[in-house]
Amino acid sequence: MLIQDEVLRNDWIVASRSIDIKEKPVQVIVMGERLVLYRNEEGIHAFKDLCIHRGAALSLGCVKDGKLVCPYHGWEYESNGECSHIPQLPEGRAIPKKAKAFKYGCIEKYGLVWVNLENSGTELFNLPEYNDEKFRSVIWGPVEALANPPRIVENFLDVGHLSILHEGFLGVPEHSVIGDYDIHWEDESIRSDEIAIYQPDPDGSGQPKHVYYTYEILRPLTVRFTKKDHETNQEMVILLTILPVEEKKSVAFGVMLFNYDSGQSDQEIIEFQDMIFSQDKPIVENQKPEDLPLDLQVELSLKSDRVSIAYRQYLKKLGVELGTA
C-alpha cells in the first residue's frame, strides 16, 4: 500500500464500532492480519486471532469468567494474554511459559474501538466535540469499499465534487466555483481555512444557503471536517477514519457530531450518509491508479484541490521521514 506499513502499525487504527464488541469474540482483519476482539469486565481486548497450541482461531471460541477460551482444546487466556488453564495438563504440572496469546494495543474511544499493532505509545488524536455535551454523536459505518484507504480519505477531503457528484444534496452545479483558501500546517495536523459552499438544504429547514467547511488532516487515515452555519451557529463535524483490511479493501467509519437538532433520528442520519457514500463508492473503487499519486505532476490539480494536495504532501512527508520515499 501507499502508506508504509510501519506508519500504520504504530498508529491507532479503527477496528470496529464499540457497540459491536460484546462478550462474544469477533474477528477483525487489519492490514491482512487476523485479530480477535472481545469484551470482559475490564474492557475490550485485541489479540492475534491465533491459538499458540494448534493455530485455531480464537474468535471461534468464547469468553468464560472473563477469560478467552480457545474452541479447540479449551486453553484459557487472561486479559494480558497469558494462558492460565490447560484442560489436558495433569494437576500440578506448570503451564508452559510460552503459552500466551499475542496482545495488541486496544482502546475504546469516540464510540469506536482502536487497535495498535505494535503496542507503541502513540497517542490517539483528540476529538473535543465528542466530550462536549452540546454535541450529539452518531456513529456511521462500518461501510466497505474495494479501494485503498487514501483514495477514500481524499474523496472525503475533496470539496470540488460536492456540487457535481452530490448534486441536489451537498451542492448545486450553478455554485461549483470554489473561492480561494489557504492551508495551515500545524504541529500535529493540517487545517484548511473556511471554504464557502452553497448547499440546497444544509440544516433540514429547506432553505438554501452558504455554509462553511473547514477540513483537518489528523492522521494518515483519519480526517475531519466542520460545517458551520454563521447565521445560526449550527455546527456539524464528521470524522472519517478508515480500516485498511487488505490490499484494495477498506472499511469506513464516521463519527458525526451535531450541536443542533436536525429533527432526524440516528437512523435517518445514517441512511443519508449511506446514500451519499453510495455515490462516492463507485468513484473510489474505480480510480486509477489505485494508490494516490504522491508526485503532484502525475494528476492535474486545481487551486481548489488544495486540501487534497495537502493530504498527498502529508503522506509524502511521512514517507520521507522514514526514508522510504
Q: With CB under 6 A as the contact rule, which of the stretches 21-29, 53-61, 135-143, 282-290 interacts with ligand FES?
A: 53-61
* Residue 280: contacted member of ligand FES, Co ion, none (CB under 5 to 8 Å, by partner type): Co ion
For cell 472481545, name the residue.
38
* Residue 22: contacted member of ligand FES, Co ion, none (CB under 5 to 8 Å, by partner type): none
Among residues 53, 109, 209, 249, the one that binds ligand FES under rule CB under 6 A? 53
CB 178 within 8 A of CB 195: yes
Q: Does 101 bind ligand FES (CB under 6 A)?
A: no
Q: Does 184 bind ligand FES (CB under 6 A)?
A: no
Q: Does 154 bind Co ion (CB under 5 A)?
A: no
| Spatial distance between the Cα atoms of 307 and 315, rounded to a whole number of angstroms | 12
Q: Nearest distance from residue 76's CB to ligand FES, in Å?
A: 9
Of residues 238 through 297, those in contact with Co ion by CB under 5 A are: 280
CB 189 within 8 A of CB 225: no
Q: Count residues contacting Co ion (CB under 5 A)?
A: 1
What string marks each residue from 55 to 94 as x (binds ligand FES by CB under 6 A) or -?
Answer: -x-------------x-xx-x-------------------
- Count the neighbouring beta carbons within 10 Å of the beta carbon of residue 84: 12
Residue 113, strand partner residues: 16, 108
Backbone torsion region of residue 141, taken as left when φ is above 0, otherwise alpha when ψ lies between -120 and 50, otherwise beta:
left
| Spatial distance between the Cα atoms of 38 and 46, rounded to a whole number of angstroms | 7
- Count the neighbouring beta carbons within 10 Å of the beta carbon of residue 88: 9
**Residue number, nearest CB to Co ion:** 280
Residue closer to ligand FES by CB (options 97, 288) is 97
| Spatial distance between the Cα atoms of 162 and 211, rounded to a whole number of angstroms | 13
Got the DSSP string for 77-145? E-TTSBEEE-TTSPTTPPPPTT-BPPEEEEEEETTEEEEETT---PPPPP-GGGG-TT-EEEEEEEEEE
Residue closer to ligand FES by CB (options 84, 205) is 84
Residue closer to ligand FES by CB (options 59, 226) is 59
Q: Nearest distance from residue 71's CB to ligand FES, in Å?
A: 7
Question: Which residues bind to Co ion, rule: CB under 5 A?
Answer: 280
Question: Which residues bind to ligand FES, rule: CB under 6 A?
Answer: 51, 53-54, 56, 70, 72-73, 75
